[in-house]
């Protein structure tokens, strides 16, 4: 009885506004590798539950039902599920679950967001709808497409695409773009967008239409077709793009949506590359399990290292619970309720349960199985907003607000954007070119080729990784094998 009263009092204290001065709340250690925390003060009641090995799906459903929770989505591949706690008995349900012998781990379904800088625009977003946080992508003047005498825009010159073998166009390479969706009606994406999947749990699975602009902008960097009388082009225009919608119209989503999207990719064995121009600040063991499965299956995963706010204002563009980082639309930071077994700063920090500061490389780029990409500006210098850390593998053009990256936009238009989102898309496009030369390349072979041929910018590893990608050298190295 006394123990139960202690939990009730702890829940009340944790729910008090301002109880935690830091954006990452502390959590009470519940024993046997689990941590229990308060229900999110914003009323977010969704949790990810991992069950112990050998617990059958029927038993999992029974445990969820007995806790009073609602099963929202089962993940048999991960031996886990997404649940919704009962609003009036959330603490009681959590207490039941963390004590149940069938439960291995509980994680909060934290928010995540696109890693593009937001442009000050209090009312307008690319789709013409209201947006209090500003726009990830802003419309470009059509004259920008014609005003350059160069055959390539600055970002493609920077990676030496003009010197790369022109026969390599990413032919028949399948790429999943985990983002806000893609606008398949854009003429520069004609016939290269395949049927994808809306991974946002509770929404129509066939609705992959982009209403934000971010996913379409990223898709254009990867694979837009060359227009007549224009220097705008994508890196791998003969690749096939699969829109996997994990972010909503405001550029934010949830961890469960990302896991669901990757789960769909795993089942679709044709896909070789995953682009994740998104990030969040809380580790997840369930997500890491999914990432490891894809890596073992030979899928190359490219992710944004993350942006942080260089203006000193935290949470610019936060749409979820407590975002941190410039342009991250809802990169919520709340420690997982179930730390990885031995927890602490080693295994637990890499797999899940750890909450990062604003200066650390974000998840999923932080996982060693992914290729983590930082951003350079028009001068080929690493941008101020590009997060540093030992996890950074490479840098690529991301631009900044003064000189952003030009790509396609909604309504058959063109747009400007900047961030490690855009940088990751450049690497994804180059990976497609390499696979069009040799489809047998493994994820680690791809990483090694990119790093061996990268241009050293003279910075430490935390800033640049191995350096700036070089498309010409990378393709030559694969062709000379």
Say whether pLDDT at 17 is over 80.
no
Terminal alpha carbon distance of the chain: 69
**Residue 416's Cα: distance from chain center in Å?**
20
The half-sphere exposure of 349 on its side-chain side, counting CA atoms within 13 A, is: 8
Residue range 379-407: average pLDDT? 97
Question: Of all helices (H) and strands (E), which one includes residue 84?
Answer: strand 80-84
Positions marked active-site: 179, 214, 421
Say whether pLDDT at 337 is over 50.
no
pLDDT score at 151: 74
Residue 443 tokens read as 């994820």
pLDDT score at 228: 59
| Residue 350 backbone class (left: φ over 0; alpha: ψ -120 to 50; beta: rest) | alpha
Domain boundaries, the chain: 29-109, 113-479
Give the span between the Cα atoms of 396 and 158, in whole angstroms: 8
pLDDT score at 268: 86
* Cβ-proximal residues to 300 (8 Å cutoff; 6+ apart), any chain: 272, 273, 274, 371, 431, 435, 443, 446
pLDDT score at 143: 73
Task: Label the pairing between strands 197-198 and 240-245.
Answer: parallel
Query: Which CATH homologous superfamily contains domain 29-109?
Result: Peptidase S8 propeptide/proteinase inhibitor I9 (3.30.70.80)
How many Cβ atoms sit within 10 Å of the Cβ of residue 11? 18
In percent, the amount of the chain with pLDDT more than 90 equals 71
Q: What is the pLDDT of residues 205-227, one digit of tens each?
A: 999 999 999 999 999 999 999 76
Provide the mean pLDDT of the chain. Answer: 83
Say whether pLDDT at 441 is over 70.
yes
Say whether pLDDT at 377 is over 50.
yes
Give the span between the Cα atoms of 226 and 212, in whole angstroms: 23
CATH code of the domain occupying 113-479: 3.40.50.200
Q: Which residues pair with 103 in a beta bridge?
A: 51
pTM: 0.84
Residue 308 pLDDT level (bands cut at 50, 70, 90)? confident
**Residue 249's Cα: distance from chain center in Å?**
15
pLDDT score at 255: 97
Q: Which residues pair with 178 in a beta bridge?
A: 244, 276
The half-sphere exposure of 156 on its side-chain side, counting CA atoms within 13 A, is: 24
The half-sphere exposure of 112 on its side-chain side, counting CA atoms within 13 A, is: 33
Residue 457 tokens read as 């910018």
Question: Of all helices (H) and strands (E), which one includes residue 260?
Answer: helix 255-267
């Amino acid at each position: 009885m006394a123990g139960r009263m202690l939990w009730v009092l702890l829940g009340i204290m944790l729910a008090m506004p301002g109880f935690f001065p830091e954006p990452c709340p502390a959590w009470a250690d519940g024993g046997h590798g689990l941590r229990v925390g308060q229900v999110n003060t914003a009323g977010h009641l969704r949790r990810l539950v991992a069950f112990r090995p050998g617990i059958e799906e029927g038993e999992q459903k029974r445990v969820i039902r007995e806790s009073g929770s609602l099963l929202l989505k089962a993940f048999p591949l991960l031996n886990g599920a997404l649940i919704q706690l009962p609003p009036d008995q959330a603490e009681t349900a959590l207490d039941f679950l963390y004590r149940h012998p069938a439960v291995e781990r509980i994680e909060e379904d934290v928010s995540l967001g696109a890693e593009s800088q937001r442009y000050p625009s209090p009312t307008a977003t690319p789709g013409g709808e209201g947006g209090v946080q500003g726009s990830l992508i802003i419309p470009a003047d059509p004259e920008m497409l014609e005003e350059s005498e160069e055959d390539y825009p600055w970002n493609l010159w920077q990676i030496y695409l003009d010197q790369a073998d022109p026969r390599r166009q990413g032919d028949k390479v399948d790429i999943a773009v985990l983002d806000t969706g893609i606008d398949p009606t854009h003429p520069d994406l004609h016939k290269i967008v395949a049927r994808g999947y809306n991974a946002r749990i509770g929404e129509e699975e066939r609705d992959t239409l982009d209403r934000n602009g971010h996913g379409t902008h990223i898709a254009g960097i990867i694979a837009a077709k060359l227009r007549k009388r224009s220097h705008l082009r994508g890196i791998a225009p003969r690749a096939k793009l699969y829109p996997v919608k994990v972010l909503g119209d405001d550029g934010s989503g949830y961890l469960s949506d990302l896991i669901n999207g990757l789960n769909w990719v795993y089942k679709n064995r044709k896909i070789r590359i995953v682009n994740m121009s998104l990030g969040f600040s809380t580790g997840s063991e369930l997500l890491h399990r999914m990432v490891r499965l894809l890596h073992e299956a030979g899928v190359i995963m490219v992710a944004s290292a993350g942006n942080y706010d260089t203006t000193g204002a935290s949470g610019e563009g936060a749409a979820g619970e407590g975002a941190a980082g410039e342009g991250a639309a809802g990169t919520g930071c709340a420690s997982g309720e179930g730390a990885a077994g031995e927890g602490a700063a080693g295994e637990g920090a890499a797999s899940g349960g750890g909450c990062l500061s604003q200066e650390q490389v974000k998840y999923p780029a932080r996982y060693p199985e992914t290729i983590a990409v930082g951003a350079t500006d028009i001068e080929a210098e690493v941008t101020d907003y590009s997060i540093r850390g030992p996890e950074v593998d490479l840098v690529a053009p991301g631009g900044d607000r003064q000189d952003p990256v030009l790509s396609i936009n909604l309504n058959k238009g063109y747009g400007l954007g900047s961030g490690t989102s855009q940088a990751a898309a450049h690497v994804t496009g180059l990976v497609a070119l390499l696979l069009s030369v040799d489809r047998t390349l493994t994820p680690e072979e791809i990483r090694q080729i990119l790093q061996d041929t990268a241009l050293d910018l003279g910075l430490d590893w935390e800033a640049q990784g191995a350096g700036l990608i070089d498309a010409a050298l990378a393709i030559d190295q694969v062709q000379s094998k």
